[in-house]
Amino acid sequence: MELELKKLPALLPDMRLGKVHCGRWAALCQELHIARYPLFAVFKLGGGHEIHHGRETAHDVANFARDSSAAPNVRVLAPPEFPDLIHGSHGSGAWLVDFYAPWCPPCLRLLPELRKASRHFDSAINFGTIDCTIHASLCRQHNIRSYPTTILYNNTEKQQFHGDHTATSLVDFLQDILNPTVVKLTEQSFYSSVGKKSPDELWMVDFFASWCGSCQQLAPEWRKLAKMVSSMANIHIGAVDCEAEVSLCMQQGVRSYPTIRLYPLGGQGLSTIAIFSGFQRDAQSLRQWLFSFIPSSVEELTPDSFEHKVLNTDEPWLVDFYAPWCGHCVVFAPEFQIIAQKLEGRVLAGKVNCNTFQYLCHEAGISSYPTVMLYYGDNRQYQGDEIPSQSANHIIAHTERVLSQHQQKHQQSQLLHDEF
């Protein structure tokens, strides 16, 4: 161990290094809840510290020290300060707390991901860790039954994280909390919004209970769904916590969790309801079901209508060439519908079934599905301007840029023609 310690100054030239003899300084080590020896800890600027749980080689300790020092808002928490922190006393703000055990491999894999996630938030969210092998009574008091358990405490509210143990999933979870796309509905807001919705609005609502495992699995997918349709102003994604809103859920006849209900376009208030009965509750499947209730502005094209409407016209067209057996095409269909809605009035949208019209797709040079082609300008050919993307934002941006450039060239050409 002494040999490993001697390597650390060269590996950590920008850090001050020290040793504490816990036999001589027992009170200090007890205050820091040091339960094993040797133990390495990083004490951070501004207060707080973190403990290393990996191998005790110089290389591993140095990596931990660099990683920890780059995440100043992550620190070990202890029982005396915990109640004030989670209830937001003294302006402590929101805390994401990871309850873990050092013997648990998933816990040790999550800790570095927690540090990575913390760098996205600076002081907006604090990050804390609690070792449940040391603070067992605190973990029992907060009903921690498995490791790792990660909970966001935001003043009087708490929300448990159920996503993948990655920095990306943690960041998505926290950003959804800070900038929610899912509308949290109470009895009052349910009846004032969903209950009084106009025929040109659509609401999709998840009735859930926090103890329900299937509800916990649905939660991150529900947030993804809300993000997917956030650009569509007349579509609202809501959620009702049936533990908090017992009366509302009883009034609405909710008897199992999760219950997903859709209040479609054309219906006034609660007059029309559709209930999701599918087995797949991922965001893509839920979006496909939702879009089955939305009138499409995408026209199904045949060889005749393609030639007449797309090739022999002045109007720009976006065309989705697809095959019904193609999984990517099925997933892309709602995305293309969003594109059509966003470009409505400027670009016409159509789709061609390449299973039915193979010759047309061959003439257009289609070799994979889905393929999106933009048709604009004069003297159009079957093979248009291919857009190699399945992202709505990218396709919209590309289309707007190409059409803007085309319009500028047309105007310049017209000016030259007028001069001559």
DSSP state at residue 44? P
pLDDT tens track for 211-245: 999 999 999 999 999 999 998 889 999 999 999 99
Residue 420 within any structural domain of the chain: no
256 and 327, same structural domain?
no
Q: What pLDDT is attached to residue 414?
A: 64
Mean pLDDT rounded to a whole number for the chain? 90
Domain limit, last residue, from 252, 271, 291:
291
Q: What pLDDT is attached to residue 165?
A: 93
15 and 97, same structural domain?
yes
Map residue 196 onto helix, strand or coil: coil
pLDDT tens track for 383-395: 999 999 999 999 9
The whole-angstrom separation of Cα 202 and Cα 194 is: 9
Residue 121 within any structural domain of the chain: yes
Which residues constitute the domain of residue 273? 183-291
The whole-angstrom separation of Cα 9 and Cα 187 is: 61
- Quote the tokens at residue 303: 């060889």
Q: What pLDDT is attached to residue 91?
A: 60
Say what the pTM is. 0.71
- Quote the tokens at residue 220: 């991150």
322 and 212, same structural domain?
no
The whole-angstrom separation of Cα 43 and Cα 19 is: 12
286 and 307, same structural domain?
no
- Other beta carbons within 10 Å of 20: 13
Domain limit, last residue, from 241, 275, 291:
291
- Quote the tokens at residue 63: 């990596």
Residue 23 within any structural domain of the chain: yes
Find all residues with CB under 8 Å of 193, minimum gap 6, and list them. 183, 185, 203, 236, 238
Domain limit, last residue, from 178, 193, 220:
178
Q: What pLDDT is attached to residue 100?
A: 94
Q: How far is CA 306 from CA 309, 310, 351, 380, in A?
A: 5, 5, 9, 12
Strands in 249-397 per DSSP E: 259-263, 274-275, 299-300, 317-322, 348-353, 371-375, 385-387
Catalytic residues: 212, 215, 326, 329
Question: Can you list the residues of the chain whose pLDDT is less than 50?
Answer: none
253 and 139, same structural domain?
no
Residue 417 within any structural domain of the chain: no
Query: Left, alpha or beta for 361 (phi > 0: left; psi -120 to 50: alpha)?
Result: alpha
Could you tell me the CATH number of the domain that includes residue 94?
Answer: 3.40.30.10
Find all residues with CB under 8 Å of 263, minimum gap 6, and list them. 194, 197, 202, 203, 204, 205, 269, 270, 272, 273, 274
195 and 316, same structural domain?
no
